[in-house]
């Protein structure tokens, strides 16, 4: 090989021939050193990420935060003796083998890169609200009735004057496309097939009008109040024009909760770290189906309100966040009430006084919610407030409750305590993140089967029979 050929392939070699000092990069690092360091960094990144994936496959042992003793995690099971029989959640692609929401969750953990998982799972600060949302359901036990003929069971219920197949609504969640291409549409299709409403978020990625075209859908629109009044009026009018049945005004996210793990994992979202990039590369199915084939995410329903030079994905997210209306008040909600002629739901209330006020301003429903533990840490769980809220408003408005619902039994408890229906966030997102529309459908089917079976075991024939007499709260 001549020196010239040599030089084309490795510049530092020519330099070595020409003189004693090889060219240096910043900090005195040689090209060879940089190349070696780069190779080492890539190799160790690959090794760390591969180990992390491997450990996730052992979900039965490795599932972290959502593991209070009252949940059915293998690690906490009294059926095990010193680790036997060894139990693992199913984390594969055959949806018929996913028997619980936790199985779909395990599959989602396997499929998604870490930053997407942090976005999906994480809560604010110490995640005390997040943990309590789960634990709060465990405070209630069933008191079943014996010797009841439960041959015929009816899970359907009436909401806003229409029947729905079961008392469940898919909660509004933003940025769903991070989990699956066109996830908003896929969730809407799953909801329509299951006969339940789908609430689409202001921060969704599929255009409202496209979701509205899903046949048979009960389409609800969730409104974040940000920017000039014309923005929210335009969104309300659009929701009206595409035929949305209900408008949800979310009240608990005007200030963005501090999800520290998201920040720790990915300090600068506009400038992804090498670890994050390598992790994304290691989740090839997610990467190819999403970013490579589908392209960069956009907030399709609000991007036209964003200044032209801020419309790239992260810029637009930051701009919208900076425009959230910190002055949002009951007066604003009253004005929204006046503009929106259909069903109005106020989401994010956690005190009886606020629920009563919502009834007074003419809301049709309240969603008791702490935003899935993602906003104020150390908040009460919605179910803690539910019985008193129901007593205070009687039947003047519908009450929804959400947070930590992962089982049909959680839903039955909510209904027995006075909810008309529940909103379900992560449980269905695990499904869509695991397998798109069929995954979301599977999540809804699992919840439905659990409601149906537990209803029979409780000695109740229909949702309408449920009440506090089916519950006990052991001290």
Cβ neighbours, 10 Å, residue 442:
25
203 binds ligand FNR (CB under 6 A): yes
Sorted by sequence, the CB contacts under 8 Å of residue 437 that are 6+ apart come out as: 186, 187, 189, 190
SS (H, E, C) 33-64: HHHHHHHHHHHHHHHHHHHHHHHHHCHHHHCC
In the complex, the smallest distance separating the C-beta of residue 38 from ligand FNR, rounded to whole angstroms, is 34
405 binds ligand FNR (CB under 6 A): yes
In the complex, the smallest distance separating the C-beta of residue 177 from ligand FNR, rounded to whole angstroms, is 12
Q: Copy the structure tokens of residue 337.
A: 């009430």
Instruction: Please tell me the count of residues contacting ligand FNR according to CB under 6 A.
Output: 25
Q: Which of 425, 431, 436, 439 binds ligand FNR (CB under 6 A)?
A: 425
Q: Which of 45, 167, 290, 404 binds ligand FNR (CB under 6 A)?
A: 404
426 binds ligand FNR (CB under 6 A): yes
**DSSP state for residue 292 in the 8-state scheme:** I
Alpha-carbon dihedral of residues 254, 64, 267, 431, nearest 10 degrees? -60
Residues 327-356 interacting with ligand FNR (rule: CB under 6 A): 347
436 binds ligand FNR (CB under 6 A): no
The torsion region of residue 83 among left (phi > 0), alpha (psi -120 to 50) and beta comes to left
For residues 361 and 340, the answer to whether their CB atoms sit within 8 Å is no
407 binds ligand FNR (CB under 6 A): no
In the residue annotation, 371 being an active-site residue is answered as yes
Q: Which of 113, 123, 167, 172 binds ligand FNR (CB under 6 A)?
A: 172
Q: Write each residue from 441 to 470 as x if it is in contact with ligand FNR (CB under 6 A), else as -, in one continuous string.
A: ------------------------------
Q: Which is nearer to ligand FNR, 45 or 167 (CB)?
A: 167
Residue 15: CA atoms inside 13 Å, Cβ hemisphere, count? Answer: 11
For residues 444 and 401, the answer to whether their CB atoms sit within 8 Å is no
**Helix, coil or strand: residue 258:** coil
Q: Which of 60, 403, 408, 436 binds ligand FNR (CB under 6 A)?
A: 403
Catalytic member of 132, 182, 283, 371:
371
In the complex, the smallest distance separating the C-beta of residue 250 from ligand FNR, rounded to whole angstroms, is 4
In the complex, the smallest distance separating the C-beta of residue 349 from ligand FNR, rounded to whole angstroms, is 12
Contact region for ligand FNR (CB under 6 A) — 44-52, 265-273, 312-320, 397-405? Answer: 397-405
Q: Which is nearer to ligand FNR, 22 or 227 (CB)?
A: 227
**Rounded Cα–Cα distance for residues 249 and 410 (Å):** 25
Q: Which of 59, 157, 222, 441 binds ligand FNR (CB under 6 A)?
A: 222
Residue of minimal CB distance from ligand FNR? Answer: 425
Q: At what angle do helices 128-138 and 408-416 cross, to 10 degrees?
A: 80
Q: Which is nearer to ligand FNR, 45 or 286 (CB)?
A: 286
Q: Copy the structure tokens of residue 424.
A: 């379900």
Q: Write each residue from 90 to 129 as x if it is in contact with ligand FNR (CB under 6 A), else as -, in one continuous string.
A: -----------------------------xx---------
The torsion region of residue 92 among left (phi > 0), alpha (psi -120 to 50) and beta comes to beta
Sorted by sequence, the CB contacts under 8 Å of residue 358 that are 6+ apart come out as: 346, 349, 366, 397
**Helix, coil or strand: residue 356:** helix
Q: Name the residues annotated as catalytic.
A: 371
Residues that bind ligand FNR (CB under 6 A): 119-120, 133, 171-174, 201, 203, 222, 250, 347, 369, 371-372, 374, 402-405, 423-427
């Amino acid at each position: 090989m001549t020196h010239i050929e040599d030089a084309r392939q490795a510049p530092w070699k020519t330099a070595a021939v020409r003189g004693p000092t090889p060219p240096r990069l910043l900090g005195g690092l040689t090209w060879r050193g940089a190349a070696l360091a780069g190779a080492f960094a890539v190799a160790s990144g690959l090794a760390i990420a591969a180990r992390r994936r491997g450990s996730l496959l052992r979900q039965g042992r490795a599932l972290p935060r959502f593991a209070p003793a009252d949940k059915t995690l293998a690690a906490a099971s009294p059926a095990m003796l010193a680790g036997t029989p060894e139990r693992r959640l199913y984390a594969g692609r055959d949806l018929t083998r996913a028997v619980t929401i936790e199985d779909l969750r395990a599959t989602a953990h396997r499929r998604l890169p870490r930053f997407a998982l942090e976005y999906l799972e994480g809560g604010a600060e110490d995640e005390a609200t997040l943990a309590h949302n789960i634990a709060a359901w465990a405070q209630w036990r069933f008191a079943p009735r014996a010797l009841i003929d439960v041959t015929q069971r009816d899970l359907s219920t009436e909401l806003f004057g229409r029947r729905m197949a079961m008392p469940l609504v898919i909660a509004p969640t933003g940025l769903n496309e991070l989990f699956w291409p066109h996830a908003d549409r896929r969730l809407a299709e799953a909801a329509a097939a299951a006969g339940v409403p789908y609430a689409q978020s202001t921060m969704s990625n599929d255009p409202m009008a496209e979701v509205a075209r899903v046949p048979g859908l009960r389409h609800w629109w969730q409104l974040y109040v940000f920017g000039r009044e014309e923005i929210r009026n335009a969104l309300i009018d659009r929701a009206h024009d595409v035929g949305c049945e209900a408008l949800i005004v979310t009240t608990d996210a005007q200030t963005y909760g501090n999800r520290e793990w998201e920040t720790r994992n990915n300090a600068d979202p506009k400038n992804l770290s090498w670890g994050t990039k390598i992790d994304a590369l290691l989740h090839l199915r997610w990467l190819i189906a999403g970013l490579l084939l589908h392209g960069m995410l956009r907030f399709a329903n609000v991007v036209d309100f964003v200044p032209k030079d801020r419309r790239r994905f992260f810029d637009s997210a930051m701009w919208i966040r900076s425009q959230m209306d910190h002055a949002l008040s009951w007066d604003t909600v009253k004005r929204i009430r006046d503009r929106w002629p259909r069903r109005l739901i106020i989401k994010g209330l956690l005190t009886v006084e606020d629920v009563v006020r919502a009834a007074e301003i003419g809301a049709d429903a309240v969603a008791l919610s702490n935003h899935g533990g993602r906003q104020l840490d150390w908040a009460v769980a919605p179910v803690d407030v539910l019985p008193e809220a129901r007593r205070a408003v009687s039947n003047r408005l519908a009450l929804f409750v959400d947070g930590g619902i992962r089982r049909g039994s959680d839903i039955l408890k909510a209904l027995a305590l006075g909810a008309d229906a529940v909103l379900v966030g992560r449980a269905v997102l695990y499904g869509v993140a695991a397998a798109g529309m069929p995954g979301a459908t599977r999540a809804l089917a699992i919840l439905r089967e659990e409601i149906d079976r537990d209803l029979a075991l409780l000695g109740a024939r229909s949702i309408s029979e449920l009440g506090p007499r089916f519950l006990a709260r052991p001290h």
